[in-house]
Structure 1
Amino acid sequence: MSTPSRGSLLVLCAVAAVGRAQPPAPRVTELPSAASALLQAVHAVNAQVVWASGHKGTVVRSRDGGRSWERLETPAGDSLEFRDIHAVHADTAWILSAGSGPKSRIYRTTNGGATWRLQFLNADTAAFYDCFSFGSSTTGVAYGDASPQRTNILRTEDAGRTWKLLAPTAVPAPLPGEGAFAASGLCVVHGDANTVYIATGSPGARIFRSRDGGRRWTTENTPFARGISAGLSGLSFADAQRGIAVAGDMSRLRTDSAQSVVGITTDSGRTWSMRSRPPRPGALAGVTWVPGAGPGAAVAVGFGGAFYTLDEGRSWTTITTDVTTGVSAVGRQVWIGGANGKLWRVDF
């Protein structure tokens, strides 16, 4: 038997090192559920406390890392679709119902869902509110589809006791028919306490950005897929600069195959590096960085399934082929909500 040369040994060692460096696949656990309707939004407060909301007035909460869930009573029975949720701990949370006119509402609980206080009721029949986000326990921003000739952005500084509609001079002028997709609750996100982003859907797939907690806004055009029913659907920012975004054609929920639907920015949305789409057709609904799993780790959800990447979207692996829309991450854990009340936890 011949003896390997020194060069061959170095190559073999390098190959072995590369093999050892590959991280293990994340562990996927389908969780018990207290719901049967689509869970459209998820918000993980920490490794134990997770809230989710969705259609038919559904709000559920876990206080043990997803091992068990409780269904919470909500206002208006099953007539509202709670497409966004934000919580600060096990007792205090806000829910946003999406819909035309008075179906767009914001409620808050401070006693774990035992009671809810109505904080905002949309009186504009032409407006449809999609998403909201809080930079602190008191300051938040909500976005709604444009009414004729005005962009609708709400802001609160008192934990939602009052929501003020920003003046037209403080917000971007809308494109004709501009709005967002209330797909995952991630069309409004914070990069930090003062930096807020809004992702618009059709027709322009634009980014709105505020650096003063939502008082004033600028706009950026993006290279994402756009059209009558296509545009950005979800954002996630690791900080004020570094973000990931997804897009989709909502007229082709299960069959969308557009390529310009995943992108990375490192300059607050001014420029985007486009990435490959996940391996299955379907409109993407939301995305999150996984902060504890390395700088390239993210999970995207959509109507073709849920997917993870470890290399900033250059490649994707399927988590589930079920319809998924809500997603939220803390540390190395990700929680996903989807159709028929299904929930998953992904441990990286």
Structure 2
Amino acid sequence: MSTPLRVSWLLLCAVTTVGRAQPPVPRVTELPSAASALLQAVHAVNAQVVWASGHKGTVVRSRDGGNSWERLETPAGDSLEFRDIHAVHADTAWILSAGSGSRSRIYRTTNGGATWRLQFRNADSAAFYDCLSFGSSSTGVAYGDASQQRTNILRTEDAGHTWQLLAPTAVPAPLPGEGAFAASGLCVVHGNANTVYIATGSPGSRLFRSRDAGRSWSVENTPFTRGGAAGLSGLSFASPQRGIAVAGDMNRLRTDSAHSVVGVTTDGGRTWSMRARPPRPGALAGVTWVPGADPGTAVAVGFGGAFYTRDEGRSWITITTDVTTGVSAVGRQVWIGGANGKLWRVDF
């Protein structure tokens, strides 16, 4: 028979164990916004400076951690969809407009959006550019859907003043109709300055990897869902080895219920451990590790809502049921962009 002292000690241990197993619930704040269109990509430079971009020529910026936002004038009025954005500080950023032929463009500002310089305009009517990423303030990579029976990867070493289309010998040969989903701006990401990853969507859910800052590439097959409009949609790498990826069926934006849509790798994408999908149907668009939180913490976004995990995707908790696509994290903070110009900050 247990003594009262032993019972009290066991209760104390149980309470302590439960307390350790259940970290505080993150604080979710819906932020004021200067936009009304879908904000498809978000990039947080630091805890204060955050940029976001999206449809109808939209680019917004916050310089106070998301408490206020300013709408920036962009080229071509509201005719372009800026589906990716990458910034290095409050003044300098690149935006990528996705679309067929000449609608795929890259612009850069060095004065906080007061003016933008056109750096790249796609001359291939069959190509469609999806995402870009910079490993430093000068070296970056952009990926476009395959065309003319070749894989389209651009690279710059001079901050985008010139972009070089890599030779077919430096890149994987494409699958028929291979391309990426310009869903969150996270189909091209860096693991560090030299390690770059590209997630392809349909038809094969393949992963391209470069270990020389984008000069040459190898390819890995993955176990993620695949199909005519299904495949990988977003990546996040905390290091060159440790990554998390999401996928979705873009023909079923609100109703996708495929199971092979979340996975974690610890060997740079050679192998993947598949995880549970979030609790609501909908294609997943993007994902990010939360670097300042517990190691297993990540946020995934998609057309069924936004979700967080504390255990590397084994379980998920809903943040919002609104459509969300852009996501970026710094420290313990995550910024999310979604439909109708909505923005959220999640503090872990």
User: What is the TM-score with the length of structure 1 in the denominator?
Assistant: 0.98
- Aligned-partner SS, 2:292: helix
Distance (Å, rounded) in 2 between the aligned partners of 1:91 and 1:29: 26
Report Cα offsets for 1:278-330 as digits up to 9, x if no partner: 00000000000000011000000000000000110011000000000000000
* Equivalences for residues 1-348 of structure 1 within 5 A: 3-4=3-4, 6=6, 8-9=7-8, 11-21=10-20, 22-348=22-348
CA distance in 2, matches of 1:312, 1:11: 30
* Deviation, structure 1 residue 140: 0.1
Deviation of 1:11 after TM superposition, in Å, equals 3.8
| SS of the residue 1:78 aligns to | coil
Q: Which amino acid letter does the alignment assign opposite residue 60 of structure 1?
A: V
Report how far residue 13 of structure 1 moved.
Answer: 3.2
Distance (whole Å) between structure 2 residues aligned to residue 148 and residue 76 of structure 1: 28
CA offset digits 1:212-241 (Å, max 9, x no partner): 000000000000000000000000000100
Q: CA RMSD in A?
A: 1.1
Deviation at 1:9, TM superposition (A): 4.9
1:57 is displaced (CA, Å) by 0.1
The DSSP-based 3-state class of the residue aligned with 2:79 is: coil
| Secondary structure at 1:130 match in 2 | strand
Displaced runs of 4 or more, over 2 A: 1-6, 8-14
Gaps of 5+ in 2: none
Aligned length: 347
**Residue type at the aligned position of 1:133:** S
| Counterpart residue type for residue 12 of structure 1 | L
Distance in 2 separating the partners of 1:43 and 1:100 = 24
Post-superposition CA distance 1:184-212 (Å, at most 9, x none): 00000000000000000000000000000
**Identical-pair percentage:** 87
Unaligned runs of 5+ in 1: none
CA shift, 1:15, in A, is 1.4
SS at match of 2:173: coil
Q: Distance in 2 between matches of 1:5 and 1:72?
A: 66
Q: What amino acid maps onto 1:16 in structure 2?
A: V
Determine the C-alpha separation between the residues in 1 that align with 2:32 and 2:48: 15
Counterpart AA for 1:111: N
Cα distance in 1 for partners of 2:5, 2:176 equals 69
What displacement does 1:10 show?
5.2
Matched residue type, 1:175: L
TM-score by length of 2: 0.98
The whole-number CA distance in structure 1 between the counterparts of 2:159 and 2:217 is 21
